[in-house]
Amino acid sequence: MSYLTFNKLNNMSQSIQKSLNENYQFSTSNTVFLSHRHDDEQEVKQAVGFLAQFGQRTYVDWLDHSMPSQTSSETAQKLKQRINRSNKFVLLATPGSIRSIWIPWELGLADGVKGLNKIAILPLVKNEGTWDEREYYGIYNYIEQSYDGNWYVIKQGESRGVHLANWFES
């Protein structure tokens, strides 16, 4: 099993770009809330395309024109509503996301309203086998690529998982 690397994501760029053009827009009928660090804009765009390959529409907060221009309690309330409405919650965990102040709050909120089975962490790493994760990420599902090339949602401590497309449908 291996994590999604920056190189893999870049190598998928053609199929991702097609999916991105079709799905990268604000939608209130989203199926996936993508928690991310705002400084990772390029990676967020690519992650939206990656998820779109599995038929998913993704909510990205900075595409939501109803969001306040400055973060406030209104921002938190709107994020809370979007997390509640989403079918799944995916955290894009890049090397820089550890510095985000919003990601832990969003993850904790999703945990409370969605439960563990509707949350998955998508590590985006430089090396397939290494990842600087937060300690509490260990209780959540991970999105990983199997040796057969398919993507799965794996529960911590297990070697088998659910095909990513099937997880989105469950």
| Domain parsing of the chain, residue ranges | 28-41+58-169
CB contact at 8 A, 47 and 92: yes
Segment 35-90, tens digit of pLDDT: 999 999 989 988 988 998 888 888 999 888 889 999 999 999 999 999 999 999 99
Pick the residue with more confidence: 26 or 31? 31
- Cα 87 vs. chain centroid, distance in angstroms? 12
Q: Give the model's pLDDT for residue 53.
A: 86
pLDDT level of residue 24 (50, 70, 90 thresholds): very low
Mean pLDDT, to the nearest integer, of 18-43?
73
pTM for this prediction: 0.89
